[in-house]
Amino acid sequence: MSLVAPYTVVNDPKLHDPMAAMIVTGRLDFPDDRLAGRKLWAAVKTSTNAHGSILADAGTITAVNVGNAGSAYTSAPTVTFTGGGGTGASATATLSATGTISGITLNNAGSGYTSAPTITLTGGAGTGATATVAFTMGKLHIDTAAALAFPGVRGVFHAGSFPAGSSAAGAFATSWTNYGVVIAAVVADDWETARWACNLVNVTYNSPLPVVFDADAAMSASSPLSGRQATGNVTTSTQTRLDAAGNGAAYGLAHCDKTMQFTTDWTPTQQHNPIHPKTGLAYFTGDPGSQTVQGTGDCYGFSVTQNAMSHLNSLYSSVNMPQQQTHYSAHACGGGFGDGESTVQMSMAAVLSQALGGAPVVLKLSRKDHNHIGGRQYDTKGVFNIGYNKDGTIVAWQGGWYGNGGGASGMWYGPRTTYKIPYIDWTAYNIYTNTPARNSWRDVADIEGGGAFERCFDLIAADLGMDPYALRQKNLMGVLDHDQDGTKLIWSDKCVNDCLAQAYSASGYATKWHAPNTKTLPDGRKHGIAIGGRQDSHGGMSGGGRYGHIMMGGTHTNGSVEMYMGGSRASMGPQAAMMVVVAEVLGLPYSAVRLAEWGNGDITLADGMQNGSSHTPGAGSAFYMAALDMRTRIFNRACGLAPLNAVVPAGVTQAKATAVLSTVFPGGTIASFTITNGGSGYTGVPAVTISGGGGTSASATAHVTNGVVDSIVVTNPGSGFTTVPTVVISAVTPDLLDAANGSIFLKSDSTKTVTHATCTSGWDPQISVAQGWGSYLRTAAVGDSPIGSACNSTGAAAACIEVAVDTNTGEVEILSYVNATSTGTTLFKPGVQKEMMSGNEAGIGQWLFYGDVYDPTTAAVLQMSHGCFSHPTAMDLYPTANTYIEVQHNSPSGPLGCHGMAEPASGEGNVIWQAIYNAIGVFPDHNHGAGSPNVILKALGKAT
């Protein structure tokens, strides 16, 4: 493996600080003996209607506090209270001599407030002043007595259990706009008891408002409000693409040969994180404090995530603790169709633990709760007016992208970045109904944008009597074309063109394609074939579970490195590949790399892997980067050890410094260093070794400018120094070293070696946590875009799918499914192949079997697209029908030529729908539901 990476490692320095709060470990069960036999378990009580609030006695406004004092006020602004359900509160602002607000006096606390009202300050000629209300919540009508009396229950908590306005109170809903939001939590000796006792918590609801269920109806002016937005049920955003003269889609539509209107159906919704809910754990050592008074102890939390940083943030903010007293461990997982994340679980566990004096609490959601709280994908439709020429050139595209639950603008990513469309005028309509909270799953490989725009292309092709593949080719952006809208230069690797070409040839499309509804198979079924593909919105990110985390030193004194990794339970392949990467970067034998975790991102029982956005076994840059960081650290340490510390390379004058001890009580520590000779000729950062003086643990880092050591920073002042210690600044620097087979040696004289074992002995634990490359800088020049320039780095995929449709039963058989996905340089072939296999499973599952189904009156999730037995598995693949093509190329955006596969590995399931269209000549209408045979029968007029 080449270690030459022509790019700069850009990482958050905090992640490299061994004292940093975050330690991404990967133990599913927290590896701490202190918890043995002491864990308590929590379950949640959730709302059973979509739109309601808990009956509450009126609360009290106790004070009004100035947030921002503002400036330039010439007179006191008027204080207005809104919301909160009450009336009559009034307050007066007082002005300072400098034109700021010095205080606000509460004149009348008003009455009937069930939640804190919001405050606005108007007038007075100044700007920027803000204020908040201190509010004591009235008694919520939640009866916890029966649950508390149940044997084994240790506590029952809800918003009223915590100070009004605290983050703990905010974790529990008192009013809601969805089914299944968390109202209360029960902590008990075991989870089943906690879960059972949740049924004993009695909540008195206010009468629910009407549920807004239908996305079309929600858009009408007379629709009841879902309450999901401050005003109305719809938000919009727009995108236009104009020519140099400022002409937009209207102009394009007037200047093309033909136009066509499209209204696509509402697609199904799908789960985002469908696999079984994971637990979150938290506990405290020492004083846990409270929501209002910070504790002096330490808070420890554990969760499953693909985004450790955000989980760490939510941990310390949920318990009102400083970050340095908050310790977080994560089991890394993927997102997408992969594992369930457990942020909610961990931060709520922390709140409960704090309330119980710091006892370890594990919170686990039931599958029902997970289904309602976990992310879902929206159902979508498109209403378009597309202008094109007779030769198939798309000229203008006007219209609306509709997303029930938000994220509609994400849908337009695919056509915008894959095809040349000179004139665009798009509006995204984000519609908010009371069906459970949605996340977008963007446009990728999926029911959303892909389902909408690919079918338009097929319909335009049919109108022109053209082969749909030829139509796509006509409009594809060239590989070296510039991004049509963004500030970035061209794509790092616009590989969709290649994916389409490979899917086209591997499938035999050229000889198999026919006009829609024109081919019947000998057994009477209709034959259909279609092709589609697009550049994905992501895929640059990569690495095992997004974060690569490795550890050396500490208890690992034998030169070994420990690796923490999420991935796939079903296969150890990616882990093995990453271990190889880590071993080779650090120059260790493979046996010296230990894996501290297995993964959890499998989408299926048999095929493993998840095809979410983050876990991309093809690349693994996060581990590569973590290993590079560790390599620098251990090389730096080696520089300070014999025999390397005695070597003075040619051209280097060794720097010298002395330590200055602290005079501040209690003393015995190093305060600073005095450089007596900055030396010269340094090509890297030398080691600073501190010895003698009777003290321990001191450490320091040198800084080099133009080959001269110009400062030495104390990284650990140590303790116990009675005399000034000796300081040695090495002449050798890490860049002069290399490593192989457990030894670090001087490149110019390989007899000068220090073993990794020597380096790690007595070394403080070193943790390198790195993210996969996320800022896309070119590592190779492409077109007119030089090395180091910014570029879009994304995945890409195409599929060609052939089906047989039984028009008597609506059943669809996949005759062939070619999934061609861009993999950059494949590092781990079986992993990449399995990722694509999962993509085909997901594609088939989404497009032929089940979508999410909601109850129209409560918006409860009645059926999951991927829950329980509806989860697509390897048994759903037609084994002989699938072809997986790694479209390999040397990605110029990442080292080793790798990039993430991203979600296109999901197999472009919408192409199944297009193939059905090619078979029967009509696009079936999902009507928000599954793409199952019943809706195909409906399209054929055999069901209503």
Sites of contact with another protein (CB under 8 A): 48, 192-193, 195-196, 198-199, 213-215, 217, 266, 366-368, 808-810, 848-850, 853-858, 860, 862-863, 869, 873, 875-876, 927-930, 932-935, 937-938, 942-944
Q: Which is nearer to another protein, 433 or 613 (CB)?
A: 433
User: Least separation, in Å, of the C-beta of 557 and another protein?
Assistant: 46
Angle between helices 621-639 and 573-586 (to 10 degrees): 30
User: Least separation, in Å, of the C-beta of 345 and another protein?
Assistant: 17
Dig out the tokens for 318 from the structure: 């949920």
Q: Which is nearer to another protein, 196 or 598 (CB)?
A: 196
Q: Which is nearer to another protein, 182 or 739 (CB)?
A: 182
Q: Which is nearer to another protein, 516 or 929 (CB)?
A: 929
| Phi and psi angles of residue 251, each rounded to the nearest 5 degrees, phi first | -65, -45
Q: Which is nearer to another protein, 200 or 626 (CB)?
A: 200
Owner of token pair 């070193």: 766
Q: Which is nearer to another protein, 327 or 525 (CB)?
A: 525
Distance CA 709, CA 679 (A): 6
Q: Which is nearer to another protein, 739 or 877 (CB)?
A: 877
User: Taking a C-beta distance cutoff of 8 angstroms, is the pair 415, 397 a contact?
Assistant: yes
User: Taking a C-beta distance cutoff of 8 angstroms, is the pair 457, 471 a contact?
Assistant: yes
| Phi and psi angles of residue 542, each rounded to the nearest 5 degrees, phi first | -160, 175
Residue 77 DSSP label: P
Amino acid at site 373: I
User: Least separation, in Å, of the C-beta of 923 and another protein?
Assistant: 16
User: Taking a C-beta distance cutoff of 8 angstroms, is the pair 365, 435 a contact?
Assistant: no
Distance CA 849, CA 479 (A): 36
User: Least separation, in Å, of the C-beta of 103 and another protein?
Assistant: 49
User: Least separation, in Å, of the C-beta of 183 and another protein?
Assistant: 13
Q: Which is nearer to another protein, 148 or 506 (CB)?
A: 148
SS3 (DSSP) at 147 = helix
Residue 390: partners with Cβ closer than 8 Å, 6 or more residues away: 257, 258, 464
Q: Which is nearer to another protein, 561 or 853 (CB)?
A: 853
**Among 346, 369, 349, which residue's Cα sits nearest to residue 187?**
349
User: Least separation, in Å, of the C-beta of 842 and another protein?
Assistant: 14
User: Least separation, in Å, of the C-beta of 282 and another protein?
Assistant: 24
Give CA separation, 685 vs 184, 735, 769, in Å: 54, 8, 21
Q: Which is nearer to another protein, 48 or 317 (CB)?
A: 48
User: Least separation, in Å, of the C-beta of 866 and another protein?
Assistant: 13
User: Least separation, in Å, of the C-beta of 745 and another protein?
Assistant: 55
User: Least separation, in Å, of the C-beta of 852 and another protein?
Assistant: 11
User: Taking a C-beta distance cutoff of 8 angstroms, is the pair 153, 41 a contact?
Assistant: no
User: Least separation, in Å, of the C-beta of 153 and another protein?
Assistant: 13
Distance CA 398, CA 870 (A): 37
Where are the extended beta strands (E) located within 476-564?
526-539, 547-552, 561-564
**Among 42, 603, 613, 45, which residue's Cα sits nearest to residue 276?**
603
SS3 (DSSP) at 237 = strand
Q: Which is nearer to another protein, 543 or 845 (CB)?
A: 845
Radius of gyration of the chain (CA): 31
Q: Which is nearer to another protein, 183 or 579 (CB)?
A: 183
Q: Which is nearer to another protein, 474 or 938 (CB)?
A: 938
What DSSP line would sit under 284-336, residue for residue? EES--B-SSSB-SSEEEEEEEES-HHHHHHHHHHHTT--GGGEEEEEEE---T
User: Least separation, in Å, of the C-beta of 381 and another protein?
Assistant: 12
Cβ burial of 855 (10 Å; 0-12, 13-18, 19+) is middle
Owner of token pair 């500030």: 487
Cβ burial of 58 (10 Å; 0-12, 13-18, 19+) is middle
Q: Which is nearer to another protein, 365 or 796 (CB)?
A: 365
Dig out the tokens for 321 from the structure: 């603790």
H/E run at residue 388:
strand 380-388
Strands 280-285 and 298-305 turn out to be antiparallel
User: Least separation, in Å, of the C-beta of 228 and another protein?
Assistant: 17
Q: Which is nearer to another protein, 17 or 192 (CB)?
A: 192
Q: Which is nearer to another protein, 195 or 549 (CB)?
A: 195
- CB burial readout 692-711, b (16+ within 10 A) else e: ebebeebbbebebeeebbee
Q: Write a three-state SS string for 699-735.
A: EEEEEEECCEEEEEEEEECCECCCCCCEEEECCCCHH
Q: Which is nearer to another protein, 435 or 535 (CB)?
A: 435
Residue 846 DSSP label: I
User: Least separation, in Å, of the C-beta of 933 and another protein?
Assistant: 6
Hey, what's the torsion of the CAs at 782, 784, 790, 794, to 10 degrees?
-50
User: Least separation, in Å, of the C-beta of 928 and another protein?
Assistant: 5
Owner of token pair 């609506």: 810
Cβ neighbours, 10 Å, residue 261 = 10
Residue 36: partners with Cβ closer than 8 Å, 6 or more residues away: none
SS3 (DSSP) at 448 = coil
User: Least separation, in Å, of the C-beta of 199 and another protein?
Assistant: 6
**Among 503, 379, 412, which residue's Cα sits nearest to residue 886?**
503
Owner of token pair 């882990």: 575
Q: Which is nearer to another protein, 629 or 841 (CB)?
A: 841
Q: What share of the chain is helix, strand, coil (3-state, %, to 5)?
A: 25, 30, 45
